[in-house]
A and B are shown apart, each in its own frame.
Chain A
């Protein structure tokens, strides 16, 4: 159906794709697996007409084609479901779908809905055409994107990290839909860095690393170990055991209530001992962000918090001085992109480098070099603006900065979100070092495996209600899933 031959794409001196050859047959699901920065997105952009390849050719049904723009890609029958839904929030589902159609200049809303109904016949819709997109959940929005992609009867469907915004249940539904599309002869290219998913859905798996195709295996021949070795270039160590917590209580939270838009976060009570990790799971938007913000001094709350038997200042700078580090939900909040790596590493401690009131940039860079080495941050130099670093390295910058002073408590939210396998292993390693040294960690994540492998106790947020905590030994994926989606222990 679709064939890529020797596709090469350079950005300046960086080779994003080097001589990549791929093929996908009708009714086949080809998974494109690779860490962040392996060149998956560049390859998709070439297929969807956003970049022109420097070398190589693209063949569709045996004929060489040029794809100068997304419009051309659609006309050729190549459709893309982007990683994050790109819909117009204020408009209705029908209006958003209309963007994928060739429509007359003037048309009535009723005619549009009628035409869409006819076009979508046979696709289980599950979404109200007249609902404004802003009211849909992330999963429903993605469904709309998928329907929009299917409207023009494509031959090749590209899904870019489709499950990153979905709950496990929604992902399940998506996989069923992919199976259905496969059955009617569509070629599917499925991009992901999650091994389980790829093994669940793909017929063939191509692995990219550092811009090159390092392997291609049939589903039957693949297992996790092999794929990790291909992806990372080495096997991963088994997750280290977390040592048991100590006696000393670091944090006591009693009946915390965080007002927010919609529903409040409430009933949060727990205590955290030195060397203990408490994992908090929850479907996105259940109040995790607000809870962490309240604890980090960024949001007002009611209730009682004691930190090492002392008061809890509601001021991020003073909290950090007391030994509370914070890995924020969004990386963009934790760094200043235009400032250098060295400056970003000093965002908390810059005053230390200005004893006489004048900043000593050399001392700052020297200390940065030590941190860059210790945390394995890949950057050309300490003076490079953080903007030029990959997501995983930006996360390591944040981690290095927050952990350099050996905090007593770490508030970590999605510490490995969008970070590749190798880098998340390193992030987990650093967090465990901290725990071993006797710090407490509050870990909020949507990755259940991450929570289950690192935590001593686990809890969940369900519509703002705090559920648990229960000891890790009594929890498994199913039980945690129930806590997240039904609010029962």
Chain B
């Protein structure tokens, strides 16, 4: 009995492997629930409860929005070989840009477009620093973008505690409420700021088209899969890398605008602006296997995990970060399924 490589697994086998490992992940999760002292069946039900009513679905949708925007940008960046771990910081910079327009520029019909414009640009500039360092000096972008997260975090803390602190907020650390012109419309009385959702879906479609249907995408794919071939062909590697990085930063910035203009309506402490969307979106992009279109599937999946985690927290007073455990198990099971589907067990003597 031994493991052998199987280069061409059948579709049925791949699906089977994924189903098997998904069940395994759920089983392990059950053990964790048990160890924490909550009945596993009840916990499972709660985890999937957002799917059962409109309010729950709305919760999933509002979590999906930033994951969709950031995830499709990261899917592109990862594919091209730029490992942007700093989407969280780029999201925060987007929120800062939005807040500046909302709070300090005269309000009008131009306010919302201007917020998206400035927020997106700040996100792009933020990752642009890391991308430029990589292209110019070969600095590892995983480290630089990761560290930039902390800079962005404390920049927001400084702003809400200092110069931008609201006049009518007493001891709280946030700015004044945005004027009505700077607030995104929502679906009914949910928190689903639909213009950003539309933007996210459009981004995924656009990036998918760019990547697989245009000469630019052709060059991106060459660079991402074989940098040596890109060099051999004389592609402008630095420019291609920069462009992919800036796109991912731009989308992360836009998602930050959506969060403050659609949900919070003010700039507040960074931990409250984002539930770690920039990090969860790494999973989203990874699960989509570098296909922006796949993000349309994986972003809602992780959105469900985040919303389900909320339900667990409220009903069973588990810590919210149980969502990280769920997401982690999900990732592990997918990696396991991938490995299983690429191998086969040979039973012989």
Partner of A338, one of B214, B225, B346: B225
A332 contacts chain B at the CB level, 8 A cutoff: yes
Which chain A residues lie closer than 8 Å to B215 at the CB level? 350-351, 354, 357, 359
Is residue A66 contacting chain B, with contact meaning CB distance below 8 A? Answer: yes
Most interface-central of A320, A347, A354 (chain B CB within 10 A):
A347
Q: Count chain B residues whose beta carbon lies closer than 8 angstroms to a beta carbon of A.
A: 25
| Residue B136 at the chain A interface, CB threshold 8 Å | no
Q: Could you tell me the distance between the alpha carbons of A147 and B7 in the complex, rounded to whole angstroms?
A: 34
- The CB with the most chain B CB atoms within 10 A, among A318, A320, A334, is that of A334
User: Which of B85-93, B156-164, B192-200, B232-240 lies at the interface?
Assistant: B232-240
Question: Beta-carbon contacts of B1-42 to A below 8 Å, as 1s and 0s?
Answer: 010101110000000000000000000000000000000000
Q: How far apart are B17's CB and chain A's nearest CB, in angstroms?
A: 17
Query: Is residue A328 within 8 Å, beta carbon to beta carbon, of the partner chain?
Result: yes
Given the interface pairs A12-B6, A52-B346, the reply to whether A359 lies near B232 with Cβ below 8 Å is no
Cα distance, A333 to B229, chains bound together (Å) = 5
Q: CB of A315 within 8 A of chain B?
A: yes
Q: Within 8 Å CB of A335, what residues of B?
A: 226, 229
Of all chain B residues, which has the CB nearest A351? B215
Collect the chain A residues with CB atoms within 8 Å of residue B8's CB. 12
Assess the B218–A359 pair: CB atoms within 8 A: yes
B218 contacts A328, C-beta separation under 8 Å: no
- The docked-state distance in angstroms from the alpha carbon of A396 to that of B334 is 37
Cβ-closest chain A residue relative to B5:
A11
Which B203-220 residues have a C-beta within 8 angstroms of A?
212-215, 217-218
Confirm or deny: B167 has a beta carbon within 8 angstroms of a beta carbon on chain A. no
Which of chain B's residues have a CB closer than 8 A to the CB of A52? 2, 4, 346, 348-349
User: Which residue of chain B lies nearest to A358 when distances are taken between CB atoms in the complex?
Assistant: B213
Q: Which residues of A contact B226 (CB under 8 A)?
A: 332-333, 335-337
B234:A317 contact, CB within 8 angstroms: yes
Contact A388 B232 (CB under 8 A): no
Beta-carbon contact of B234 and A336 below 8 Å: no
B222 touches A (CB below 8 Å): yes
**Is A471 in contact with chain B by the CB < 8 A criterion?**
no
Known: A12-B6, A68-B2. A359 touches B225 (CB 8 A): no
**A95 interface contact, C-beta 8 A:** no
Given known contacts A52-B346, A338-B225, A348 and B233 CB-to-CB distance under 8 angstroms: yes
**Restricting to A320-345, which residues have a CB under 8 Å from any CB of B?**
320, 326, 328, 330, 332-339, 343
Q: Which residues from 55 to 94 on chain A have a C-beta closer than 8 Å to any C-beta of chain B?
A: 66, 68
Q: How far is the CB of B114 from chain A (nearest CB, A)?
A: 29
A277 to B346, CA, bound (A): 52
Distance in angstroms between the alpha carbons of A52 and B234 in the assembled complex: 45
Minimal Cβ-Cβ distance residue in A for B8: A12
- B313 close to chain A: CB less than 8 A: no
B221 touches A51 (CB 8 A): no
Whether, in the assembled complex, B321 has its beta carbon less than 8 Å from a beta carbon of chain A, the answer is no
Q: Within the assembled complex, what's the spacing in Å between the Cα atoms of A343 and B346?
A: 35
Give the residue of A319, A328, A351 whose beta carbon is less than 8 angstroms from that of B234.
A319
In the complex, A297 has a CB within 8 A of chain B: yes
Closest residue of B by beta carbon distance from A357: B214
Query: How far does the alpha carbon of A328 sit from the alpha carbon of B228 in the complex, in Å?
Result: 11
Is B232 within 8 A of A66, CB to CB? no
Within 8 A of B (CB), among A349-385: 350-351, 354, 357-359
CB contacts (< 8 Å) of B228 on chain A: these are 330, 332-333
Q: In the complex, which residues 285-332 of chain A have their Cβ closer than 8 Å to any Cβ of chain B?
A: 296-298, 315-320, 326, 328, 330, 332
Q: Complex: how many Å from CA A343 to CA B212?
A: 11
Q: How far, in whole Å, are A297 and B235 apart by their CA atoms in the complex?
A: 12
Q: A52-B4, A336-B222, A336-B225 are in contact. List 4 more A-B contacts (CB 8 A).
A: A316-B231, A326-B232, A339-B221, A347-B229
A-B contact pairs, 12 of them (CB 8 A): A11-B7, A12-B8, A52-B346, A66-B349, A320-B233, A332-B229, A333-B232, A343-B218, A348-B233, A351-B215, A357-B215, A359-B214
Residues of A within 8 A of B (CB): 11-12, 51-52, 54, 66, 68, 296-298, 315-320, 326, 328, 330, 332-339, 343, 347-348, 350-351, 354, 357-359, 388
